[in-house]
Structure 1
């Protein structure tokens, strides 16, 4: 209210001022009530009647204690008595009203004393605001916070955030303590990145988010913690301002080392032959795509000669022993980067990086190695090997090479077994 308005109001007659007060009292959007020194309602407005759930005619004359929640009454009465005793002029308090139907209404009350010329309290005026929705929001917020806290206790990791404008980065207390121990302080970006494995730095890069190119990204990287290096999965989300500009990045990093190791073990198992430990056909395809062979490579198809009688005469356990020993001998014929695969039964495939001479040498070693007797529980058995090999200079379709090697294997068997037939891919194509 301006000074001119105040002067104008003071110049009005008492009747006009009272009329203005009555209008403001009755039509206020919040509850207003006049209370006597015994705590009884002298007068209330429509908004107050709605709050207590009673008509004005009924609420007039009631004590506020009659509709105040019992658990809130003691604190309210103590403050009320302080006002009557002259130790305070008013007070504010949150409390609950109970309506006749049992519904509970949360309210915020501001009480002010009205005094006579002698300074004695003659009545009190209350302004009452309904805060039920606000209290419900607070309850839900607290519930969600509690749920989040429980969820975070069930996982290993925590939150971090980064302000896009200032580039300020900070971890949560929980994440810092997960990384560096119970007494650790929150980490800045420099100290956090020091913990990320150097080989995973590109994965942890935040540039696309900072530039606003994406709104969400997931990164997996290794992080050095107080219990050693752990695999972390970090869900990063970009928050934007009202104009759509990048504002803040929030990340949640969770330790998923056990899950990562299980997946790795499963992936390894799915690409290996259960009996021999060699690559299976799926593992061969995956490994072949990563093979580095600038000088070319040879594909060797290997089939055992005399294996069926071992199973027929000595049983499948003896046959398994032969297959395991064959795998050992094949591995001894190649280098670590070469590929050895069991495709099924007594059939094997080798992929050898290097020149044509390198491939021929390995094929001959395989034949020679398999001429030695194989020990089984019953003694030993004589099992030989036939090999069909093909060499290619440039990367060629694997299935095409396997087909060519198989045809050469059949040629080796047709010529008497226990031998190898080897050609270059060009020669094979010309003959076909």
Structure 2
């Protein structure tokens, strides 16, 4: 019991340090894993009868660094495709063409910008892509009369919608929950639909609240980080190039191709329809590969920490210590499940215990390991809470950049969109209780 209390205190203290921004998540997760292993008295170096490493250093830390390897590769290839779209003008062309469709009607322009942003972030990832898309979309939204704070929130809600269909994220969650990617995909489709509805409701409410009726859309501003490689995409090849974001989704969801293969085909597709000669195409391919790896760097380091923490909390000796405590807390009935996870969903903020890119990865593994709840129900609860983290967490780099660009406080964005994303989370939990509990 003493060991269990010490492990829980470790969670609380390190979570507090992360929330107070005294310790970065990339350091906090592996540190927590090591401390938990020490408290549970996991030997430093050990192997079981089958020769599998089970020690703190070889079975948790060393093995944990590659636990998320397939997800890491998916993130790298996804970031590579995103950089290629940015550099070849696909991203910019999609946004500008979308703005032109709206004409001078603010509501139509806003809805089209929301759809375009969501579509792009089914493939794009990283702060570089946020800056690229946001520096075009946000001025357009503001130019039709939308207040800066509302524009920032519309952008973040749209981003969050697209993120539910991001193939690289499907691979990450598949690895974290040890579930087939098709299972993750099916539930994420529901969450994407719920987030899209919440985004539309938010836009309509903000228009009514601010009395926006008329206005004119301004020409799209030049995109940040564009280069001489960028050109206007026109004709049939331009139209085909603009299909790039949906290529990986179709290949994974319908053709059932592996994620990395789907991204590779997406990269080839984009390059074929935007190339201006073999030499330039090869230079662009190489440059965007390097930029993609740089862009994916923070996520890669974070996933290394998540892998180490996952193996720590699922270690037999750690489970033996924590299982009695968790059995007393984790809900065992459908209504308890609904109330528990809906009320606790905001704990996904500030890298809290429901945050899949923070403590949540370890907590989810612990709950699944109890064997008292369907693993699919655990997945549904934590992916539902992820909706709040993705769009409303003020510690996200996308939230900080967006708020700074619009010259509003990042916490203002959190306050405005939290009720909507909490509603999406509640819908996800209710759905999970019906489908999986």
Tell me which interval the TM-score lies in, with the shorter structure as reference length: under 0.3
Rg comparison, structure with higher value: 1
Bigger strand share: 1
Bigger helix share: 2
Report which structure shows greater RCO (CA 8 Å, sep ≥6).
Answer: 2
